[in-house]
Amino acid sequence: MLAIEISKALILGFTVGLTGALVPGPMLFATIETSLKKGWLAGPEVVIGHMLIELVLCVLILFGAASLVGSGTISAVSLLGGLALVVFGLLTVKGAKAASSSGMSSNKGGMNLTSSPAAAGLITSVSNPYFWIWWLTAGSALVLREYELGIIVAVSYVIGHWLADLSWFTAVSGSFSRGKSLLSQKAHEIIMYACGIFLVFFGVWFAINYNNPVLFS
C-alpha cells in the first residue's frame, strides 16, 4: 500500500512539476543563456540552485505540518490550493500561443548569468513572483496533502517535482548547447494547452476530493 502511494506521489509530483517547468520564465532564459556557453550541464546546475530554495520552503512547510494535520487549516489550504491550480491552468491556456512563440528564444536582454548556473537558478527562482505565489498556495497545499499519507509520501512528491525540473531543463540545455531548439513552436503550444487543461481539471478534483472525500472513495 505504501509503495502504491509513493508511486502515485512521484507521478503526481512529476506531472504537476512539468506543467510549471514548461511555462517560460527567468529560469528558462537563464538555462538557455548558460547552456550556450557551458554546454548541457548548465541545465542540471541551474536546477540545483532552484532546488536549494525549494528545499528550504518544503522543510518549512513540513516543519509546521504536524501542528496543522487534523485541523481545519489544511482543509482551507487545500481549497485555496485547488483554486490556485485552476487559475494557473487557465493562465497557462490563455498564454500558450504567446509562450510558444517566445519561450524558446534566448534572453537577448543580456542578464550575465553564465558565471554560475546554480546561482542563476537560485536568483531567478527567488526573483520570480510566480514562484512564490505557487508555493504559498498550490505548492504548499499539495505537499501538506501528501504529508497526511506519510512523510515518505510527501518527500516522494517533492522528488517527483524535482525530477520534472531536472528532465526538462536538462533537455533544454542539451538542445541549445547544440545550437537548436528542443520543440517546434506548434508542439510547444500544444503541450502548454494540455498542461493548462490538466491543471484546471486537477485543481477542481483536488479541492473537491479533499473537502468531500466520500465523492471519490
3-state secondary structure 111-152: CCCCCCHHHHHHHHHHCCHHHHHHHHHHHHHHHHHHHCCCHH
φ and ψ at 150, to 5 degrees? 130, 150
Q: What is the Cα–Cα distance from 125 to 131, expressed in whole angstroms?
A: 6
> What does the pLDDT profile of the chain (217 residues) look like in tens digits?
788 999 999 999 999 898 888 877 778 878 877 887 788 898 999 999 999 999 999 988 887 755 555 555 556 666 776 777 787 778 767 776 675 555 555 444 444 544 688 888 888 888 777 788 888 888 888 898 888 889 999 999 999 999 999 999 999 888 877 766 666 677 767 766 776 787 788 778 777 765 543 333 2
Residue type at position 198: F
Query: Nearest to residue 190, comparing CAs of 70, 99, 68, 74?
Result: 99
Query: Nearest to residue 143, comparing CAs of 127, 159, 132, 123?
Result: 159
Q: Which three cell numbers stand for residue 120?
A: 542563476
Q: What is the Cα–Cα distance from 122 to 26, expressed in whole angstroms?
A: 11
Q: What is the Cα–Cα distance from 1 to 149, expressed in whole angstroms?
A: 11
